Structure 1
């Protein structure tokens, strides 16, 4: 099989359509179909299910895709290394991130990096923590922003300590005058919660402090969560960075005991990064890693 075969397979898998893959690769649908058929014949098993609604990966195809991604990423790394030997900074970096990083950090990162390295392109994938973990492990992205607690077995470099806040409807009376929200006072409120894959750090905070809440609202995105809080459906816990660009009228209090999520940049194999990926990785460290971890 050739690199073109691998590229065709990956593109069809990503797009779920022979025609869409053909448009992206500049080939005809029949050429795409022939390439996949030849690949399946050589492998001895089917990698795609075909139907009128499109194509999906077979079980064999799902297991094969990470290896195909690894081959394509290795080829990209080779050409980036050749460009580096020739004094050029070229290539592509694929970055996975969650919502609040996408809205708060990423625009600045993209601007500063592309001003310094115009020959390196960046492809961005936004999703939940679980999405970023899957993308990293399956070679879909080169680098991923995660919280340290969500990364688990994925190597991650800590960057920033992000305080957790208790968010309540504007003007909500407080039982105590202090400028924070304690656990006992939180117990008196209904909560709006997000799915655990969306922000595991918040779920950890609730569990660690025995806040066994019963919530009727299980949402995914930050805006929906805070919108429900604004309209009086409950309170929520949110990282401080997330609240930077929330337009709703709410009050925010530091939580007691103090709690944080630690944001980091993750990569599966730091020792074997492609030159462009390593350049991006170091750029993020220089721009966002706090002094406490630089010293460490």
Structure 2
């Protein structure tokens, strides 16, 4: 068994393709097949189901994959530790990011400083929703991910607090208010976001025992703003996810804070802070420093 064989097995499981795995690693497809076969022979098990054209892990392959990822993560951390000792700080960093809040607002600020200090570290960004990022952390698919805290499954590093706001047609009488009472949402047509904030919006409505008059569901912020502009209804979104330049194009849409003010905490999370790589440590440190000034 070699780490190369483990890496090939993990990539086949991720990409579900021998060809794509070969291309990613810059080797031949036959070399990929040979490495996997050698690993299966060494362990005396079948890892990949070859009965169909689609590549699927066997039950044994599923069980062993999490341990393989754990080993590869530890190996990567070890290599980066050695690199850090020599002052090189080389390696890779895979980050999980959700929605506009982290991908458009937070990451550019953090990565600008990170790349200045660690230009030799290759950064990969995997984008998913609020539910996918924690799962990717558990599976070791990413080294660190943005989450909404608290989450007892992880070691968490607080970054910044965000609030939820209401988008209201300017023609609605309630638009004259400086802040929108949460209870008043029951009196107006409602547009429900199906993006990452949906879970938290539903929790907010449930908390205040509100059954909104939901007229439609949308996932894209541009569509939501356009529908509010057409007086379809009111929508609740995370303030940080709202592109202010985009909002300026719709003068008939008002942005109002909620009353009481509902907050959410955005943090970085890792599976176990005792086993994170120097690159991950550096990213977290820079993220907290940059956002403390924001």
TM-score with structure 2 setting the length = 0.89
Distance between the aligned counterparts of 2:267 and 2:176, measured in 1? 35
- The question of 1:186 aligning with 2:189 is answered no
* Unaligned residue ranges in structure 1 (runs of 5+): 292-296
- Displacement, 1:74? 1.1
SS at match of 1:247: helix
Deviations 1:174-195 (CA, angstroms, capped at 9, x unpaired): 2474211112321112222234
Q: Distance in 2 between matches of 1:4 and 1:146?
A: 31
State how 1:74-89 maps to structure 2 within 5 Å: 74-89=74-89
Q: Which runs of 5+ in 2 are unaligned?
A: none
Deviates more, 1:181-190 or 1:93-102: 181-190
Partner of residue 285 from structure 1, selected from 264, 282, 288: 288
Does the 8 A contact of 2:49 with 2:55 survive in 1?
yes
Q: CA deviation at 1:103?
A: 0.7
* Structure 1 residues 229-268: aligned runs within 5 Å: 229-245=228-244, 247-248=246-247, 249=250, 250-268=253-271
How big is the shift at 1:64? Answer: 2.4
In structure 2, do the counterparts of structure 1 residues 226 and 156 end up closer, same or farther at CA, with 3 Å as the change threshold? farther
| Residues 217-243 of structure 1: per-residue CA shift (max 9 Å, x gap) | 344444443343333332211111111
Q: Distance in 2 between matches of 1:104 and 1:196?
A: 16
Alignment CA distance shift 1:118-1:200 (3 Å): same
- Check the 8 A contact 2:183/2:210 in 1, yes or no: no
Alignment of 1:138-149 (within 5 A): 138-149=139-150
Correspondence 1:52-131 to 2 at 5 A: 53-100=53-100, 101-131=102-132
Aligned to 2:17: 17
The structural deviation recorded for 1:172 is 2.9
CA shift, 1:125, in A, is 0.9
Larger mean CA deviation between 206-215 and 50-59 belongs to: 50-59
- Give me the whole-angstrom Cα distance separating, in 1, the residues matched to 2:63 and 2:213: 38
Q: 3-state SS of the aligned residue for 2:256?
A: strand
Q: Is the 8 A contact 1:191 1:215 kept in 2?
A: yes
What is the Cα deviation at residue 287 of structure 1? 1.0
Report the alpha carbon displacement of residue 91 of structure 1 after superposing the two structures with TM.
Answer: 1.6
Corresponding residue number in structure 1 for 2:136: 135
1:294 corresponds to: none
2:163–2:262 contact (8 Å) kept in structure 1:
yes
CA distance in 1, matches of 2:167, 2:177: 15
- Take 2:174 and 2:84, find their aligned partners in 1: how far apart are those partners? 62
